[in-house]
Amino acid sequence: MASLEDIKTIGVIGAGQMGNGIAHVIALAGYDVRLLDISQDALNKAFDAMGKNMDRQVKKELITAAQKDDALKRVSTGTEYSFLSDCDLVIEAATENEEVKKQIFKALCPVLGPEAIIATNTSSISVTRLASYTDRPSKFMGMHFMNPVPLMKLVELIRGIATDEVTYRTIHELTKKLGKETASAEDFPAFIVNRILLPMINEAIYTLYEGVGNVKSIDTALRLGANHPMGPLQLADFIGLDTCLSIMHVLHDGLADTKYRPCPLLVKYVEAGWLGRKAGRGFYDYSGDEPVPTR
Protein backbone atom coordinates (compact mmCIF):
# COMPACT_ATOMS: atom_id res chain seq x y z
CA MET A 1 0.00 0.00 0.00
CA ALA A 2 1.68 3.20 -1.15
CA SER A 3 -0.53 5.90 0.35
CA LEU A 4 -3.97 7.24 1.16
CA GLU A 5 -4.69 7.70 -2.59
CA ASP A 6 -4.71 3.92 -3.01
CA ILE A 7 -7.63 3.49 -0.60
CA LYS A 8 -10.94 3.51 -2.47
CA THR A 9 -13.02 0.70 -0.96
CA ILE A 10 -13.18 0.01 2.77
CA GLY A 11 -14.64 -3.07 4.41
CA VAL A 12 -16.17 -3.04 7.90
CA ILE A 13 -16.70 -6.34 9.74
CA GLY A 14 -19.49 -6.30 12.32
CA ALA A 15 -22.80 -4.47 11.89
CA GLY A 16 -23.37 -3.62 15.55
CA GLN A 17 -23.37 -0.15 17.09
CA MET A 18 -19.66 0.44 16.38
CA GLY A 19 -19.62 -1.16 12.93
CA ASN A 20 -22.57 0.81 11.60
CA GLY A 21 -21.14 4.03 13.06
CA ILE A 22 -17.78 3.41 11.36
CA ALA A 23 -19.50 2.57 8.05
CA HIS A 24 -21.56 5.78 8.44
CA VAL A 25 -18.53 8.13 8.73
CA ILE A 26 -16.58 6.32 6.00
CA ALA A 27 -19.50 6.56 3.53
CA LEU A 28 -19.99 10.27 4.31
CA ALA A 29 -16.28 10.83 3.61
CA GLY A 30 -16.82 9.54 0.05
CA TYR A 31 -15.55 5.96 0.24
CA ASP A 32 -17.31 2.83 -0.97
CA VAL A 33 -18.16 0.71 2.06
CA ARG A 34 -18.63 -3.06 2.25
CA LEU A 35 -20.37 -3.90 5.54
CA LEU A 36 -20.08 -7.57 6.52
CA ASP A 37 -21.88 -9.54 9.23
CA ILE A 38 -22.89 -13.18 9.68
CA SER A 39 -26.52 -12.08 10.05
CA GLN A 40 -28.49 -10.43 7.24
CA ASP A 41 -30.95 -9.25 9.90
CA ALA A 42 -28.14 -7.37 11.70
CA LEU A 43 -27.10 -5.82 8.36
CA ASN A 44 -30.65 -4.62 7.66
CA LYS A 45 -30.88 -3.09 11.15
CA ALA A 46 -27.49 -1.41 10.69
CA PHE A 47 -28.52 0.11 7.37
CA ASP A 48 -31.75 1.47 8.96
CA ALA A 49 -29.77 2.87 11.90
CA MET A 50 -27.38 4.63 9.51
CA GLY A 51 -30.30 6.22 7.67
CA LYS A 52 -31.89 7.43 10.93
CA ASN A 53 -28.59 8.77 12.29
CA MET A 54 -27.95 10.63 9.03
CA ASP A 55 -31.49 12.05 9.16
CA ARG A 56 -30.58 13.55 12.55
CA GLN A 57 -27.47 15.11 11.01
CA VAL A 58 -29.59 16.57 8.18
CA LYS A 59 -32.01 18.05 10.75
CA LYS A 60 -29.11 19.65 12.61
CA GLU A 61 -27.78 20.93 9.24
CA LEU A 62 -24.49 19.08 9.71
CA ILE A 63 -24.94 17.40 6.32
CA THR A 64 -27.34 17.91 3.38
CA ALA A 65 -30.05 15.48 2.27
CA ALA A 66 -28.04 14.95 -0.95
CA GLN A 67 -24.92 14.01 1.05
CA LYS A 68 -27.02 11.52 3.03
CA ASP A 69 -28.43 9.93 -0.15
CA ASP A 70 -24.98 9.72 -1.77
CA ALA A 71 -23.45 8.16 1.34
CA LEU A 72 -26.13 5.48 1.69
CA LYS A 73 -25.70 4.57 -1.99
CA ARG A 74 -22.02 3.85 -1.29
CA VAL A 75 -22.83 1.22 1.36
CA SER A 76 -23.33 -2.39 0.30
CA THR A 77 -23.85 -5.34 2.66
CA GLY A 78 -22.90 -9.00 2.56
CA THR A 79 -22.47 -12.14 4.68
CA GLU A 80 -19.57 -13.90 2.87
CA TYR A 81 -15.90 -12.98 3.30
CA SER A 82 -15.37 -13.10 -0.49
CA PHE A 83 -17.51 -9.93 -0.57
CA LEU A 84 -14.47 -8.06 0.87
CA SER A 85 -11.97 -9.30 -1.75
CA ASP A 86 -11.58 -5.92 -3.49
CA CYS A 87 -11.18 -3.86 -0.29
CA ASP A 88 -8.03 -1.75 0.15
CA LEU A 89 -8.60 -1.55 3.91
CA VAL A 90 -10.77 -3.69 6.23
CA ILE A 91 -11.71 -2.49 9.72
CA GLU A 92 -12.73 -5.25 12.12
CA ALA A 93 -15.41 -4.00 14.55
CA ALA A 94 -16.76 -7.26 15.96
CA THR A 95 -17.43 -7.98 19.63
CA GLU A 96 -14.58 -7.41 22.14
CA ASN A 97 -13.62 -11.09 22.29
CA GLU A 98 -10.17 -12.24 21.22
CA GLU A 99 -11.24 -15.70 20.02
CA VAL A 100 -13.97 -14.18 17.78
CA LYS A 101 -11.49 -11.69 16.31
CA LYS A 102 -8.92 -14.45 15.73
CA GLN A 103 -11.46 -16.50 13.72
CA ILE A 104 -12.41 -13.41 11.69
CA PHE A 105 -8.78 -12.72 10.70
CA LYS A 106 -8.22 -16.38 9.77
CA ALA A 107 -11.23 -16.20 7.40
CA LEU A 108 -10.45 -12.70 6.08
CA CYS A 109 -6.77 -12.93 5.11
CA PRO A 110 -7.10 -15.52 2.30
CA VAL A 111 -9.64 -13.37 0.38
CA LEU A 112 -7.71 -10.06 0.59
CA GLY A 113 -5.24 -8.67 -1.92
CA PRO A 114 -1.60 -8.67 -0.69
CA GLU A 115 -1.46 -4.86 -0.33
CA ALA A 116 -4.67 -4.48 1.71
CA ILE A 117 -4.38 -3.08 5.23
CA ILE A 118 -6.29 -4.57 8.21
CA ALA A 119 -7.28 -2.42 11.19
CA THR A 120 -8.98 -3.50 14.40
CA ASN A 121 -11.39 -1.37 16.43
CA THR A 122 -10.44 -3.25 19.63
CA SER A 123 -10.79 -1.10 22.73
CA SER A 124 -8.36 -3.08 24.90
CA ILE A 125 -6.85 -6.25 23.35
CA SER A 126 -3.16 -6.39 22.35
CA VAL A 127 -2.83 -5.17 18.74
CA THR A 128 0.47 -7.06 18.43
CA ARG A 129 -1.21 -10.33 19.40
CA LEU A 130 -4.19 -9.75 17.06
CA ALA A 131 -1.72 -8.97 14.23
CA SER A 132 -0.04 -12.34 14.80
CA TYR A 133 -3.28 -14.08 13.74
CA THR A 134 -2.99 -12.49 10.27
CA ASP A 135 -0.66 -13.03 7.31
CA ARG A 136 0.37 -9.32 7.34
CA PRO A 137 1.43 -8.01 10.80
CA SER A 138 3.26 -5.08 9.15
CA LYS A 139 -0.01 -3.96 7.50
CA PHE A 140 -2.07 -4.27 10.68
CA MET A 141 -2.85 -1.71 13.40
CA GLY A 142 -5.41 -0.54 15.93
CA MET A 143 -7.97 2.10 14.94
CA HIS A 144 -10.11 2.57 18.04
CA PHE A 145 -13.20 4.70 17.33
CA MET A 146 -15.25 6.11 20.21
CA ASN A 147 -18.97 5.47 20.68
CA PRO A 148 -21.19 6.92 19.17
CA VAL A 149 -18.86 7.07 16.17
CA PRO A 150 -20.64 9.81 14.13
CA LEU A 151 -20.52 12.22 17.12
CA MET A 152 -17.21 11.47 18.83
CA LYS A 153 -14.17 13.22 17.38
CA LEU A 154 -11.41 10.91 18.61
CA VAL A 155 -9.79 7.85 17.05
CA GLU A 156 -6.98 6.22 19.05
CA LEU A 157 -4.27 4.89 16.72
CA ILE A 158 -2.26 1.95 18.04
CA ARG A 159 0.74 0.38 16.34
CA GLY A 160 1.53 -3.24 16.98
CA ILE A 161 5.21 -4.10 17.38
CA ALA A 162 5.34 -5.07 13.66
CA THR A 163 3.23 -2.22 12.17
CA ASP A 164 5.26 -0.46 9.47
CA GLU A 165 5.56 3.30 9.04
CA VAL A 166 3.65 3.43 5.73
CA THR A 167 0.64 1.64 7.25
CA TYR A 168 0.62 3.98 10.24
CA ARG A 169 0.94 7.11 8.09
CA THR A 170 -1.81 5.95 5.68
CA ILE A 171 -4.28 5.25 8.51
CA HIS A 172 -3.34 8.53 10.24
CA GLU A 173 -4.14 10.49 7.05
CA LEU A 174 -7.33 8.51 6.46
CA THR A 175 -8.54 9.27 10.00
CA LYS A 176 -8.08 13.00 9.33
CA LYS A 177 -10.02 12.63 6.07
CA LEU A 178 -12.90 11.07 8.04
CA GLY A 179 -13.06 14.33 10.01
CA LYS A 180 -11.61 12.82 13.20
CA GLU A 181 -8.75 13.81 15.52
CA THR A 182 -6.12 11.23 16.43
CA ALA A 183 -4.28 10.27 19.62
CA SER A 184 -1.40 7.81 19.25
CA ALA A 185 -1.17 5.16 21.95
CA GLU A 186 1.40 2.47 22.68
CA ASP A 187 0.19 -1.12 22.57
CA PHE A 188 -0.39 -1.64 26.30
CA PRO A 189 -3.64 -2.98 27.84
CA ALA A 190 -6.65 -0.71 27.12
CA PHE A 191 -4.46 2.00 25.48
CA ILE A 192 -5.17 5.58 26.73
CA VAL A 193 -8.90 6.30 26.96
CA ASN A 194 -10.03 3.04 28.56
CA ARG A 195 -6.91 2.76 30.76
CA ILE A 196 -8.11 5.96 32.47
CA LEU A 197 -11.89 5.81 31.95
CA LEU A 198 -12.69 2.21 32.95
CA PRO A 199 -10.95 2.25 36.35
CA MET A 200 -12.92 5.44 37.08
CA ILE A 201 -16.19 3.66 36.18
CA ASN A 202 -15.09 0.61 38.21
CA GLU A 203 -14.34 2.91 41.19
CA ALA A 204 -17.81 4.48 40.84
CA ILE A 205 -19.29 0.94 41.02
CA TYR A 206 -17.18 0.25 44.15
CA THR A 207 -18.54 3.52 45.62
CA LEU A 208 -22.06 2.18 45.00
CA TYR A 209 -21.14 -1.34 46.24
CA GLU A 210 -19.72 0.03 49.50
CA GLY A 211 -22.78 2.22 50.09
CA VAL A 212 -20.96 5.55 49.90
CA GLY A 213 -23.72 6.87 47.63
CA ASN A 214 -26.64 5.59 45.57
CA VAL A 215 -26.78 5.59 41.75
CA LYS A 216 -28.39 9.04 41.56
CA SER A 217 -26.00 10.71 44.01
CA ILE A 218 -22.86 9.22 42.38
CA ASP A 219 -23.92 10.30 38.87
CA THR A 220 -25.04 13.76 40.05
CA ALA A 221 -21.76 14.24 41.94
CA LEU A 222 -19.60 13.57 38.87
CA ARG A 223 -21.81 15.50 36.46
CA LEU A 224 -22.03 18.63 38.59
CA GLY A 225 -18.84 18.26 40.66
CA ALA A 226 -16.43 17.26 37.87
CA ASN A 227 -18.40 18.70 34.93
CA HIS A 228 -18.72 15.32 33.21
CA PRO A 229 -21.43 15.26 30.51
CA MET A 230 -22.89 12.07 31.99
CA GLY A 231 -22.36 10.27 35.30
CA PRO A 232 -20.05 7.21 35.42
CA LEU A 233 -22.87 4.71 36.07
CA GLN A 234 -25.00 6.18 33.27
CA LEU A 235 -21.92 5.97 31.03
CA ALA A 236 -21.31 2.33 32.06
CA ASP A 237 -24.88 1.48 31.02
CA PHE A 238 -24.29 3.25 27.70
CA ILE A 239 -21.02 1.38 27.02
CA GLY A 240 -22.50 -1.98 28.14
CA LEU A 241 -21.58 -3.55 31.48
CA ASP A 242 -20.28 -6.69 29.72
CA THR A 243 -17.84 -4.52 27.73
CA CYS A 244 -16.81 -2.66 30.92
CA LEU A 245 -16.14 -5.98 32.65
CA SER A 246 -14.14 -7.42 29.74
CA ILE A 247 -11.91 -4.29 29.64
CA MET A 248 -11.35 -4.49 33.43
CA HIS A 249 -10.33 -8.15 32.96
CA VAL A 250 -7.86 -7.14 30.22
CA LEU A 251 -6.36 -4.47 32.53
CA HIS A 252 -6.25 -6.82 35.54
CA ASP A 253 -4.75 -9.73 33.57
CA GLY A 254 -2.38 -7.60 31.48
CA LEU A 255 -0.99 -5.36 34.25
CA ALA A 256 -1.39 -7.76 37.22
CA ASP A 257 -2.24 -4.93 39.61
CA THR A 258 -5.04 -5.29 42.18
CA LYS A 259 -6.18 -1.71 41.52
CA TYR A 260 -7.75 -3.05 38.31
CA ARG A 261 -9.79 -5.77 40.07
CA PRO A 262 -13.36 -5.66 38.67
CA CYS A 263 -15.90 -4.68 41.33
CA PRO A 264 -17.95 -7.74 42.47
CA LEU A 265 -21.14 -5.73 41.89
CA LEU A 266 -20.19 -5.23 38.22
CA VAL A 267 -19.65 -9.00 37.91
CA LYS A 268 -23.05 -9.63 39.56
CA TYR A 269 -24.91 -7.30 37.18
CA VAL A 270 -23.32 -8.98 34.16
CA GLU A 271 -24.19 -12.44 35.54
CA ALA A 272 -27.80 -11.25 35.91
CA GLY A 273 -27.85 -10.13 32.26
CA TRP A 274 -28.32 -6.50 33.40
CA LEU A 275 -25.94 -5.19 30.77
CA GLY A 276 -27.16 -1.60 30.61
CA ARG A 277 -29.13 0.29 28.01
CA LYS A 278 -28.98 -2.44 25.32
CA ALA A 279 -30.56 -4.96 27.75
CA GLY A 280 -33.15 -2.50 29.07
CA ARG A 281 -31.65 -2.66 32.55
CA GLY A 282 -28.31 -1.97 34.24
CA PHE A 283 -27.64 0.64 36.90
CA TYR A 284 -30.84 2.16 35.53
CA ASP A 285 -34.10 0.53 34.43
CA TYR A 286 -34.99 1.72 30.90
CA SER A 287 -38.47 0.17 30.63
CA GLY A 288 -40.36 3.44 31.29
CA ASP A 289 -40.21 6.91 29.75
CA GLU A 290 -37.43 7.99 32.11
CA PRO A 291 -34.51 5.80 33.28
CA VAL A 292 -34.96 4.84 36.97
CA PRO A 293 -31.95 3.91 39.19
CA THR A 294 -31.92 0.22 40.15
CA ARG A 295 -30.08 0.89 43.45
- Mean pLDDT across the chain, nearest whole number? 96
**Residue ending a domain, choose from 130, 161, 185:** 185
Residue 294 lies in a domain: no
Residues 81 and 22 in one domain: yes
**Residue ending a domain, choose from 126, 154, 185:** 185
Residues 140 and 110 in one domain: yes
Report the C-alpha gap between 288 and 164 in whole angstroms: 51
Distance in angstroms between the alpha carbons of the first and the last residue of the chain: 53
pTM value surpassing 0.85: yes
φ, ψ for residue 127, nearest 5 deg: -65, -35
Which percentage of the chain shows pLDDT scores above 90?
A: 95
What CATH number did the domain enclosing 131 receive?
A: 3.40.50.720
Residues 19 and 82 in one domain: yes
Residues 43 and 80 in one domain: yes
Residue-wise pLDDT for 56-83, tens only, equals 999 999 999 999 999 999 999 999 999 9
The number of folded domains in the chain is 2
The beta strand positions in 133-192, using DSSP E, are 140-145, 154-159, 181-185
The beta strand positions in 245-285, using DSSP E, are 284-285
Residue 292 lies in a domain: no
Catalytic residues: 123, 144, 156, 194
Residues 87 and 142 in one domain: yes
**Residue ending a domain, choose from 185, 215, 243:** 185
Residues 69 and 91 in one domain: yes
Residue 60 lies in a domain: yes
Residues 85 and 149 in one domain: yes
DSSP string, 32-77: EEEEE-S-HHHHHHHHHHHHHHHHHHHHTTSS-HHHHHHHHHTEEE
Residues 46 and 111 in one domain: yes
Residue 270 lies in a domain: yes
Residue 95 is classified by DSSP as -
Report the C-alpha gap between 84 and 33 in whole angstroms: 10
Residues 140 and 8 in one domain: yes
Report the C-alpha gap between 231 and 9 in whole angstroms: 39
Residues 117 and 161 in one domain: yes
Residues 64 and 138 in one domain: yes
Show the domain range for 276.
194-287
Residue 295 lies in a domain: no
Residues 95 and 231 in one domain: no
96 pLDDT above the threshold of 90: no
4 pLDDT above the threshold of 60: yes
Q: What is the rounded average pLDDT of the residues 7-35?
A: 96
